Chain A
Amino acid sequence: MKKGRININITAIFLYSAFIAFSFVIKFNPGKEIGYTFFTFVLFMIKILPCAFILIGLFEVWIKKEKVEKHLGKDASMLSFLWVILLAATTVGGIYVAFPVACSLYKKGANLSVIFAYIGAVGLCRIPMTVFEASFMGVKFSLIRLFVSLPLVIISSIWLGRYLEKRNYTMMECMK
């Protein structure tokens, strides 16, 4: 079952690259443009993903489980949300980088609510992004956005975390 799905993915990727290559050969413009967008994104990700994964690897080796549990676990105080928001603010890349990080945090025993707060915050308040935003849209715009969204993210994460705990949810994929 699992194996079959990976094969489908690989087939899709193969067909896609064939399509792009073919478009270039016969000068099919939509195909070429799609190819260019794809390469721009791949380049962008190549810059970010390896660093992100190396940092995740280092995190898993160096940071002790007890420490994460103490600060981000079930019995941690509200301060834990402050920590993850700071962590999120310094995360680079995009929400897709946040997922593997969340996975590692979970493995180290962080609370589910905290993890969802982290993911939400990565979408909202990465520092380079916010600076960029403020320069184009004005500081007022960014401040309103941050002050309204962060509390909402924290509240909804607490709710979601509790709801999932009641249903004995576990992140299966991460435990492997």
Chain B
Amino acid sequence: MSFIIDKKKTGKALRIALKKCIKILPVFLTMLIFVSFVLYLIPDEVISRYLGNRNMFSAFVSASVLGSISIMPGFIVYPLCGILLKKHVAYMVLSAFSTTLMMVGVLTYPVEKAYFGMRVTVIRNCISLVIAVIVALVTGLFFGELL
């Protein structure tokens, strides 16, 4: 549609898109390399073993740590959470896991640093971690798992 209205501008847009894409591509690839290694080192079974821990506290901590380290697309995370839920893993633990997965990214660090610089990246990730913990605690409260 943009092409019909103004050919010149659209061409410029595409050039910008291409330039940006190429500039950040090596960083993205580095991230993907890390991701593929980590996902191999922490397969699903390990995740379910740690999250299914009887001790609520240690399950909670390991959920946050695992979630912070790795990133996964939603279509993998939620089916996994669904399975864990059926195995009677607490909502609170799953909430910690999925929220840290989405918001805190040790693995997206190279990409984020390229855009924001190191300090801001670290601050933002710490804040996100705190938020994720609060959210998880509230979830636990609502589902009556905390008390």
Q: List 28 A-B contacts (CB under 8 A).
A: A34-B40, A35-B36, A37-B35, A42-B32, A44-B73, A58-B10, A58-B17, A61-B10, A99-B116, A100-B20, A100-B115, A120-B131, A123-B99, A123-B103, A124-B103, A129-B74, A133-B78, A137-B94, A144-B135, A144-B139, A145-B99, A145-B139, A148-B139, A152-B131, A152-B135, A160-B120, A164-B120, A173-B114
Tell me whether B28 and A144 are in contact (CB under 8 A). no
Closest residue of chain B to A159 (Cβ to Cβ) is B127
Tell me whether A148 and B37 are in contact (CB under 8 A). no
Bound-state CA distance A100–B112 (Å) is: 9
B interface bracket (residues with beta carbon within 8 Å of A): 35 or more
Bound-state CA distance A9–B97 (Å) is: 30
Tell me whether B73 and A94 are in contact (CB under 8 A). yes
What is the total of A-B residue contacts with beta carbons within 8 Å? 174
Tell me whether A144 and B142 are in contact (CB under 8 A). yes
Tell me whether B17 and A53 are in contact (CB under 8 A). yes
Kindly list chain A residues whose C-beta atoms are within 8 Å of the C-beta of B35: 37-38, 41
Kindly list chain B residues whose C-beta atoms are within 8 Å of the C-beta of A116: 124
Closest CB-CB distance, A173 to chain B, in whole Å? 6
Kindly list chain B residues whose C-beta atoms are within 8 Å of the C-beta of A135: 78
Tell me whether A141 and B139 are in contact (CB under 8 A). yes
Kindly list chain B residues whose C-beta atoms are within 8 Å of the C-beta of A141: 91, 95, 139, 143
Tell me whether B108 and A96 are in contact (CB under 8 A). yes
Kindly list chain A residues whose C-beta atoms are within 8 Å of the C-beta of B127: 156, 160
Kindly list chain B residues whose C-beta atoms are within 8 Å of the C-beta of A126: 74
Closest CB-CB distance, B13 to chain A, in whole Å? 4
Kindly list chain B residues whose C-beta atoms are within 8 Å of the C-beta of A164: 120
Tell me whether A99 and B9 are in contact (CB under 8 A). no
Tell me whether B36 and A96 are in contact (CB under 8 A). no
Tell me whether B82 and A136 are in contact (CB under 8 A). yes
| Bitwise interface map of B from 67 to 102 toward A, beta carbon under 8 Å scored 1, else 0 | 000010111001101100100000100110011001
